[in-house]
Each structure stands twice: as structure tokens, then as C-alpha cells.
Amino acid sequence: MPASRSVVIGVDSSTQSTKAAAVDADTGELLALGRAPHSVGGAAGARESDPGEWWTALAAAVREAVREADVPAASVTGIAVAGQQHGLVTLGADGRPSRPALLWNDTRSAPQAAALAARLGGPASWLERTGSVPVASMTAAKWQWLREHEPERAEAVRAVRLPHDHLTELLSGAAVTDPGDASGTCWYGTATGAYDPDVLDLIGLDPALLPAVAPSGATRVGTLTPAAAEALGLPRTVAVAAGTGDNMAAAVGLGLGGAGLLDHPVVSLGTSGTVFAATRARPADPGLAGFAATDGTYLPLGCTLNCTLAVDRFATLLGLDREDAAPGGGVVVLPYLDGERTPDLPHAAGLVTGLRHGTDPRAVLGAAYEGAAYTVLRALDGLLAACGLDPAAPAVRDRPLRLIGGGARGRTWTETVRRLSGRPVVVPAADELVALGAAALAAGAVTGADPVALATAWGTGTGALLPPVPRDEETWDRIAAVLAAATPALLR
């Protein structure tokens, strides 16, 4: 490829790994993908990572992507980071992380979330202010946990960042975030487009510790610092975009704008399971995260903590390959191995019921798939209802789901979602939609173009349509009954 061609880098810094996509900015062609792992530690609800591992992984993944794409470093013109949401990164006076980051799925902050939700006028007021009611995942609850459990460390903090903010600052030197990722903190007002001073006062967080909020994730915030250019092996002239959270980047990669509720609501099957839709209206529902999209419109989202990782754990316990599953039959599994967010059961543990002497282990694994898929699809029904639609109406049920994430590439995941939803499904042909969305943000920072329009022109959200199959009402109702009966115990 001639050096005159523009290549952009989209970085997906997720919970367990970093991926860097080298993309032709003109055509959207994925030229190469670099990968590097990082680790998650903790037990008894704790989930922490060393932010230094994220930076090391980012540099390694970017270098691999450029090398495998076989393009001159001089052809790279822009970079953007999409990061796992909600994580709390605290920096000391030396600008370095003062402790491991508290991740989105760290549930130790559940008591702090509950206490915060009762303040400032209660859940309705939080919805009006921030679009979301505090739960354990939200960054505000994590900051409050730190203040209560590690007060000396909290007092010594000189900057507070989200994971993608931290990486963007290492790339460019700019302390900046975007509306999308900021909306997952519960201290950013989606109604006002600014940090909420009453929330910051409530949690004792000095606004001077926070990054500025760029107008969008495609905003150019600078170019690579000398240290970043050396680490990545790229020119200092590479433009750095503000970037965003991983869910917001996936929406960009799918070409989703804010013109109204999607014809294709999205189900993402990853470590967590998420459902979201792009809309100009901001639904107020305590069961949803009322996120902003990276362009300042809205991206209401439901999130379950236990998705592919929980099902894979069942496969390991049973000694089965993840695809060696059968329908659960009379077995029901609620795979809440890490507590749960939607429904809000932060202290829950997994539950298996309906076992017999003759139960096939493959049915137990199939029931784990069903329990996880049920939880995600139930969250989708709640999202649609909050947007003023009847999930059971034929006109709504006939709308295809866009199925993305690592699970969307698995046969059993896809078939389980089809069977329990009874809806047509589109699996986009493009992999790595988060990284591709970040690449579109990078291209927008270089050219000033709308990143959603770029991704639409690239065609990254298109794929084959899988027709609907009859909805498995019996399995759905069986899981619903077990969850209803078990919830009082799970709340303890």
C-alpha cells in the first residue's frame, strides 16, 4: 500500500485483552488485527487490573497490527481508543496509577451504590440527572467504596480517569473523555452535558481531578507524545481522537445514529451481555443505564454481568467443549457467578435446579446458555418497553436483532438466542466492531467526517439475515418461574 494512503488504528481495550485494528480509512478494509492479553485479579467480588498492563498491551497490539498490515508507519494518520466502561483509574502526584483499577464487574461497591441511590431525591432524581441509578458497576459507587475502604489512598489521588481516558492521555498528553464513556460514571449529567456538581459534592470528588469532556469521541485532542510515538513505532503526527467506551464504539461500528429507535436493536454477547439501541429520546428506567452515545445523543443499555465467561465456566466444570450442549429440558441454570446487574442482584450466586440421575451433562451446559440468553433477552424487553414499544407486538418482534460480540460467532449461542427470542437475527459479517468503531472515530478526527456515516459507508454493520424460529415459550416460562421463586433468596 502506498504511503499516501491513510491508515487509522482503532483500539479495543477490553476486560481481558487489547485488540488494535489497522483499517484503510478510505474503504474500511480491515488490514490487520493485533492482539495482546492483560490480566484480571481478585476474589469475593473484587475485580482489578493493573493499568500498566493495558498500556503495554496497547503498544504491543498496535505494533503487531502495523507490522501484519505491511504498511509504512508513515501511512498511519489517526488512532482512537475504545475502552471497557466504568473502571476507576486513580493517579497519584507522579501521574501514575496509585493502585490497580477497579473494574466494571467489581461488585464490592454494591452497598455504596445502594446508599447513593437513596440520596439526592432517590432513583427518580438520579434518572433525571444522570440517566442511570447507581449500581455496583458505576464509577461513582467505586469512588465511594475507595473513600470508605482506602481513605488515605483516596485522599492522595490527584486525577481520576476511566480506562479509555487514561490510555488516551498516555497517547496524547490530553486529559479528556467523551460524552459516551462519561455517562457511565453517574457523575456526568446526560441532561446537561456536563459533570453534575451535586453528585460530585455528594461523593467528595473535586471536579479538578476529572478530565475535560470533548464534544464527541471523534474530537481531535492532539497528536502522539514523543514517548507514545516511540512506544508504538509511529510518527508523532498521528492524530489522537477523544475515543469512547466500548459499547458506544460498537454502536459506531454498526453505523447506528440517533435518528430514532433502531430497526435492529443490538444484543452483544461478550464477557458481559448487553442490549442497546440508539435514540434521540432518553428513556427513564431504573433497570437501564441511560447512557449518552459518543455524539451526545442517547444509547440506553441493559447489561448482564454473566454471559460468555459464565457459560464457559460451566463447560469447564462439566468437562465439555463449549459447543457440546443440548437443550436444557427440565434443567434450569441461573448463571449468576459474579452477582448480577440486570436484574440488580449484586450478591447472587449461580443456581442449578431440575437435576435427575439421568440428566445429560450436555443439558446442564445447554441450560447455562439458556439462563444467560434469557437474562439478556429479558433486559432487551425492558429496554424496548422503556422506549415506548410493546416487546410482544408482532411489528416489534419481527424486527431483526443484531447479534455481536464473541458469542455471536458461536453456533450454540446464536441458536439459543434465536430459539428463546423467536426473532430474526443479523450477525454482522465484520468482526471486531468495537475496534472498527474506534477506527471510524480515528478517521473522523483526521478528516472531520461523521464517524457513523463513515462506518455506514464501510458496511461494517451488514450481515446475513437468519430467519426466525418458533419461540421456545416453555423454556422461557420455566426460567422465569425459577427466577421469581429464587429472587428473595438471591437478594440476601
314-322's contacts with Cβ under 8 Å and 24+ in sequence apart are 314/364, 314/365, 314/368, 315/365, 315/368, 318/361, 318/364, 318/365, 319/361, 320/361, 320/362, 320/365, 322/365, 322/410, 322/412
Q: Which of 24, 106, 196, 246 is catalytic?
A: 246
Q: What is the distance between the terminal CA atoms of the chain, rounded to a whole angstrom?
A: 60
SS3 458: helix
Mark whether 246 is an active-site residue: yes
Angle at 36 between CA 35 and CA 37, to 5 degrees: 130
The C-alpha cell 467504596 sits at 145
The secondary structure of the chain in percent helix, strand, coil, rounded to multiples of 5, reads 40, 20, 40
Which DSSP string do the residues of 388-429 spell out, in sequence order? Answer: T--TTSHHHHTSPEEEESGGGGSHHHHHHHHHHH-S-EEEES
Task: Report how far apart, in Å, the C-alpha atoms of 360 and of each of 317, 319, 419 are.
Answer: 14, 12, 20
Is-contact 413 407, C-beta < 8 A? yes
State yes or no: cis peptide before 343, omega within 30 of 0.
Answer: yes
The residues that bridge with 145 in the sheet, in sequence order, are none
Residues recognised as catalytic? 246
